[in-house]
Every structure is written in structure tokens, then in C-alpha cells.
Amino acid sequence: MKDRLTRRDLLALAATSGAVLALPRWARAAEAAAPKKKLLILGGTRFLGVALVEAALAKGWELTLFNRGKSNPGLFKGRPLEEIHGDRNVAEDVKKLAGRKWDAVIDTSGYFPRQVRAATEVLAGNVGQYVFISSISVYAAPMKAGMDETAAGMRLEAGTDVDAIKDISGGNYGALKLLCEEAAEKAMPGKALNIRPGYIVGERDGSDRFTYWPVRVRKGGEVLVPGSPTDPVQFIDVRDLGDWTIRMVESGTNGVFNATGPKEKLAMGAFLEACRKETGSKATFTWASEEKLEALGLTPQAEFPIWVSTKGEEAGIGDVSIARALKAGLTFRPLGDTVRSTLAFWDSLPEERRAKMKAGLAPEKEAATLAALKAKAPAPPAPKAG
């Protein structure tokens, strides 16, 4: 169970307008002629929600947000959208959406199937598409490299009272997300789009998981890294996910899609080299096996974010097939762009926030581990006499 927590639950615990101007003139004309959508977002004021809002507004869509109004209040003040405040866990609040019609709803804040059922009970018949933001954590072990959307899903123990579950804990995140997907499809058969991202990274990421690496590399010095330079890593820039999700709504595409990246396989070593290039750092990387790190009291999967072990029954979570999403038009900006935007956002945060990074190895612990690794390293052979 501990292994599952470190792999799945760490994955859980977690400006597009310029793109329109960058389109060729003929493409801008075609987009301008396309019918505008009426879109409802459940959430919309944090991380992915903000990227979705920006992508939808860039298309000139009519936009409504439903949320509690507690996260980033006033974020969209003066922007052409409607905000309805309410708690999706309160039936009377959800009824505020009754009698309204939207072309689609994007659910960014559903974690329990009862939440999805409550929303669809009010919205089914009034929306043409239900988009649920799920997770690649829905897959059951063993998770094999290259697995696609047909892989077996994770299930709760037989007899579990799903509606009695109040917290995401004990490795139940993936199973609950899968039940949410099924609730959406059951309520709106053939009209549900279930998107399964991996790590979502970049601007406004409050988890600091991806952020740890470019910040640490920019700092320079000797950087401790687990595993091997060839270990695969996957993540998607929040702006790429937001843009593609809106395009999927625009095309009315439904079904199930893994949505992580990049397009080509990326190794941990190449990722760190990109961080070093973008920051102009002279950092060096010291690689240590899981076994060595564990022997020194570290839990690599928990203390080194984004990196995923290539061992064990859930190793495949770092190498998921995205062929279906690529065929459906998923695209990616350069990795360097993601690194730069992540650092720019980090640098914009208050000093007291930047002093308390939420993920990654604490500096003193890294230094102590590096020293211990060197102390345990075999001595170099003595030079031969004569």
C-alpha cells in the first residue's frame, strides 16, 4: 500500500490568447467563422481551470464558471464571463444550474462519483457534452510501459460503500476517478469525454512537483537525482492540456483519452539537461540507484517529484501511450517554453512562499545524502609503484 501511495497519490496531489494571433490568416478566418460555444466549467479559478478559461475566451466563447468563489477571487474581474457561486457538494447550490443550457460542461473538480452524479442529474438534457478531467492513475497494477486506454482499471474492494468515502487516501484516488468517468458516461451515454492526464505542470502549479527541478538546477551545484538518466518521464504543460481540451469540445469529440506528454519519449537525463540549458546553470548531476537512496533512509518516489521508478507493478505510469490523443490533435509547445514559464511564475510568488517549496528534497537533506554517498563509495585504486 505504501508503494501505491507514493506512485498514485503523489500524482494526484497535485496565456493562450497569443496562440490565436499566431495562426495563419486563413486559419484565423476559419476560426472566426466557426460557431461560438456556450461552455460551463465546474471550477475554473485554479491551475487547469484558468488555462481552460483563457483558451475558451480566446475563441470568443460564452463562458460560465460554477465554483465556491474562494480560490483566487476576482481573478477574472472585467473579463467577459459569468460566475455562479456555489458548492457542488450541496444539492441546493447545484440546482442553481438547473434550467440553463450549455453546449458542454468541463468538470475540473470531481473526485467522487457522487459529485458527478449530482451534476449530471441537473445538467443532463441541458448540455451536449460532459468533459471529465480524470487521471492516468485509473489504471490497475501491473502498469506496463506503453499501456493505452484499453488497459484494466483500478477497482475498490468488493462491497465498498463508495458514497461513504469522504477522503482521498489509502490509494483510492485512481479507483474513484474511474468511477467518476463511468458516472459521466452512464448519465450521458456517448456524450462523455474522459481525459486522463498525467502530471500537469507549468504556470500556476501549486504543487511544486515539476517546479522543483528547474529551480534546483538553476541554483547550481551538485544535484542529487534518483535512478538512471534513461528513466522515462511524462508530463504536460497546463496550457497544452487546456488548449487541446477546448479543441476537443469544439470538435465534439467524445471517448477516453490519455493526455500526457511530450510527443516523443523523454528521459530524465534529457529533461534535466533542458533545465540546465534554459537556466544557463553549471549544475552537475549525481545519479543514485533507488537501492542506495533507500539504504540511506530516503523514499525516492516521494522525495523526487516527477521521476517514476522503472521497477515494481506500477512502473508503467511513467510511460503511457498517448497515440490516441495525438491522433485527435494533441500538440505540445517546446520543453524550454514550459521550463521558462514555470520559473517566471515561481519568481512572481512572494518571497515567503518561495522559501517553502512543497515538493522535492530539502537542501540540507540533499547535502547530507550526497556526503553519505561519497563516504560509502569505494576508494579509488592506489597508483602502481614505479
Q: Kindly write down the DSSP assignment for every residue of 226-263, as one continuous string.
A: ES-TT-EE--EEHHHHHHHHHHHHHHT--EEEEE---S
Share of the chain above pLDDT 90, in %: 86
More confident residue, 114 or 21: 114
Domain 2-373: give its CATH superfamily: NAD(P)-binding Rossmann-like Domain (3.40.50.720)
The residue-averaged pLDDT of 1-27 equals: 44
Angle between helices 238-251 and 48-58 (to 10 degrees): 50
The residue-averaged pLDDT of 18-44 equals: 64
User: Tell me: the pLDDT tens digits for 316-341?
Assistant: 999 999 999 999 999 999 999 999 99
Domain boundary assignment for the chain: 2-373
Task: Give the strand order in the sheet containing 192-197.
Answer: 81-85, 62-67, 38-42, 104-107, 130-133, 192-197, 255-259
Task: Read off φ and ψ for residue 289, nearest 5 degrees.
Answer: -65, 160
User: Tell me: the pLDDT tens digits for 220-269?
Assistant: 999 999 999 999 999 999 999 999 999 999 999 999 999 999 999 999 99
Share of the chain above pLDDT 70, in %: 89
pLDDT of residue 19: 35
Residues counted in the chain: 386
The residue-averaged pLDDT of 42-60 equals: 97
The residue-averaged pLDDT of 289-302 equals: 96
pLDDT of residue 111: 97
pLDDT above 50 for 161 = yes
Is residue 8 very low, low, confident or very high in pLDDT (cuts 50, 70, 90)?
A: low
pLDDT of residue 207: 97
Instruction: Look up the pTM and report it.
Output: 0.90
